[in-house]
Amino acid sequence: MSSHKFYKFVPPTAEENSKVESLQRRAKEASLAHSFGDTTCLRFLRERLGDEEVAFEYMTTHSTWRGEFKPELLNEEVLAAEYAKQKVTRYGRDREGRPIVVIFARRHDKKDRDLEVLKKQFVCELEALMAQTHPDEEQLTIIFDLTSFGMKNMDYDAVKVRYSFTAALVLIALCLGVWDCAPLTLPLLVTYPVVGVAGSA
């Protein structure tokens, strides 16, 4: 793993800063319920490839979603049963100081899960991780451990969560034959380089 490039945060350009200011102004004019910081606005902007109009649409949708989903009420105590399955583990920080989370796909069984509870855990974990990121970057590192991954672990519906975040680096530990399945687990990672890490079968 030491040979892989660790991607650094790229500061906003003058054009991006101008669009961020515009997004902030529009958010205030629209009286969005959720308050977005400059870095968060930049994330939305970059995730939408610099399209300010689309970024604002997603910010509006995200603000509405937060009001309905209420992620601020979620915690490990509320989701104790799901956390006990140890599918997700925080693992310190990478060399750039970004928080690391490891997801063990083999510990998930599509036939033995409550989809809504699983989504709540996903959001709860991302909220906690984003709170630990550098405020001016809001980036994290995700490791998908796909060793011993099988068909029972594949659950596309489980990752259909409306949540915006930036993964600076996604590492995929996998066995031979699993790589073709890996992209199905990554629909939410909109700004990320993916690195495959070969594992033993």
Percent share of the chain, pLDDT over 90 = 37
How high is the pLDDT of residue 153? 86
How high is the pLDDT of residue 170? 60
> SS3 string of the chain?
CCCCCCCCCCCCCHHHHHHHHHHHHHHHHCCCCCCCCHHHHHHHHHHCCCCHHHHHHHHHHHHHHHHHHCHHHCCCCCCHHHHCCCCEEEEEECCCCCEEEEEEHHHCCHHHCCHHHHHHHHHHHHHHHHHHCCCCCCEEEEEEEECCCCHHHCCHHHHCCCCCCEEEEEEEEECCCCHHHHHHHCCCCCCCCEEEEECCC
CATH 3.40.525.10 in the chain, residue ranges: 76-198
How high is the pLDDT of residue 176? 38
For residue range 76-118, list pLDDT tens digits in order. 998 999 999 999 999 889 888 889 888 898 999 989 989 889 8
How high is the pLDDT of residue 154? 85
In degrees, rounded to 5, the angle at the alpha carbon of residue 117 between the alpha carbons of residues 182 and 157 is 35
pTM for the whole thing? 0.76
For residue range 1-32, list pLDDT tens digits in order. 344 455 678 899 999 999 999 999 999 999 99
Q: How confident is the model at residue 174 (pLDDT cuts 50, 70, 90)?
A: low
Average pLDDT over residues 119-126: 89
Q: In the predicted model, is pLDDT for residue 39 greater than 80?
A: yes
- Assigned fold of 76-198: Phosphatidylinositol Transfer Protein Sec14p (3.40.525)
- Assigned fold of 14-69: Helicase, Ruva Protein; domain 3 (1.10.8)
CATH 1.10.8.20 in the chain, residue ranges: 14-69
How high is the pLDDT of residue 91? 86
Percent share of the chain, pLDDT over 70 = 75
How high is the pLDDT of residue 16? 97
